[in-house]
Amino acid sequence: MNTSKKILVTGGAGYIGSHTVVELISAGFEPVIVDNLSASDTTLLEGIEKITGKKPNFHKGDCRDKSFLNQVFKTQGPIQCVMHFAASKAVGESVEKPLEYHQNNLGSLMTVLDAMRENQVTDFIFSSSCTVYGQPDTIPVTESAPFKRAESPYGATKQICERILEDVYPTGFRIVSLRYFNPIGAHPSALMGELPIGIPNNLVPYVTQTAAGVRKKLTVFGNDYNTPDGSCVRDFIHVVDLALVHVKALEYLLRDKHNRLYDVFNVGTGKGVSVLELVNTFIRTTGVKLPFVIGPRRPGDIEKVYADPSRANEALNWQAKYSLEDALKHAWAWEQKIRKAG
Ligand code: NAD
Ligand code: UFG
């Protein structure tokens, strides 16, 4: 029986992966990080060390390089489970570079699965996204909602990845796909958080950079949607809650004795929050000025989506604990920390 505590975390130098590494360590696991640093640097690895007092077991390399992965599997000894975060994730960039997105996101997934098979590792947790649903017909959205045509090549890669996982699991894999809603916030210690490259596309990093004076003003993309205040509605989930669901999914796999398994969970709070509500909550909780204007709709945006997380609540025994206020306070503390560090 594989009793190893080692968990291979691909993309562990990135935003969600690094927060998960911290929670894995505090739950008694031994993460082995693989990352090519294509969308990150060593900042968050340093954060992991400061928070946990443990030097991360880090291997720089590409998930599409099977001989590199084989070497990690061989030198690290038995691996209990692979958590696969490594992927390219910028929706806008994926429209400019569709081939690169398919190559990286599908190539990484297939090479990692292939290396797992060669090294007799069966358990796998995948970072999926609520983008697989498109604009669902019914909200809150459940896992059984059909996939609509993906709005972007990035969204398409997540749909195709899930299909690959569904196809391969009968050959001897035990897989959980986690469909994240909108991850926000930072570690409460302010030692780790989101590090967007260049001008942020996502709402919260844009909010905190504007509040810090790096950007002149925030543009709220549209106030004429069919929502209570006209702005889009999302399910914003604190990154530490998201990290914790990975530990729960791992425990779920460890509890389950089936030789083959494929399960999918929505990971959200279950609460819809509008963009304007988030902006006003940020201003109220931090007391910081946030200049903003209303602009036109952003092409490709979904009007409203939020999760029905009851499957994850029940089967994984997991619930989002942090509030929107907490997430925004933590994101702001992290932003101030980065600015101080220069
Ligand atoms: P991130 O960019 O911060 O982290 C991804 C990490 O993977 C980076 O450190 C990058 O260097 C690494 N990487 C990319 N390609 C690689 C490769 N071929 N080999 C090795 N390393 C590679 O992104 P994140 O926000 O932490 O996202 C993690 C996962 O969650 C991704 O799969 C993403 O698609 C998914 N996801 C993210 C969000 C979000 O809004 N952040 C939402 C839903 C799903
Ligand atoms: N928004 C603004 N102004 C900005 C940035 C965003 O008004 O400057 C609005 C958007 O129009 C949208 C909402 O804030 O209505 C959220 O936008 P984000 O870009 O933060 O997030 P998305 O919902 O578009 O998508 C994100 C990630 C995807 C991921 C998805 C679901 O970018 O990778 O969440 O998890 F798949």
pLDDT for residue 268: 98
pLDDT for residue 299: 86
Across 239-265, b (16+ Cβ under 10 Å) vs e yields bbbbbbbbbbbbebbeeeeeeebbbbb
Domain ranges of the chain: 6-185+237-269+308-321
CATH among 3.10.20.30, 3.90.1150.10, 3.40.50.20, 3.40.50.720 for 6-185+237-269+308-321:
3.40.50.720
Angle at which helices 239-255 and 15-26 cross, to 10°: 60
Would the CB of 281 count as within 6 Å of ligand 1? no
Ligand 2 neighbours (beta carbon < 6 A): 89, 91, 129-131, 180-182, 201-203, 206, 218-221, 232, 234, 275, 298, 301
Burial (0-12, 13-18, 19+ Cβ within 10 Å), 282: buried
Smallest-distance ligand from the CA of 162: 1
pLDDT for residue 103: 98
pLDDT for residue 202: 96
For residue 192, the tally of other CB atoms under 10 A from its CB is 28
pLDDT for residue 33: 98
Residues of the chain with pLDDT under 50: none
pLDDT for residue 256: 86
pLDDT for residue 139: 96
How many angstroms does the Cα of residue 85 sit away from the middle of ligand 1?
5
249-307, pLDDT tens digit by residue? Answer: 999 999 988 899 999 999 999 999 999 999 999 999 999 999 999 999 998 889 999 99
- 242 vs 183: CA distance, rounded Å: 7
For residue 84, the tally of other CB atoms under 10 A from its CB is 25
Smallest-distance ligand from the CA of 208: 2
Q: Which atom in ligand 2 lies closest to the alpha carbon of residue 181?
A: 35
pLDDT for residue 197: 87
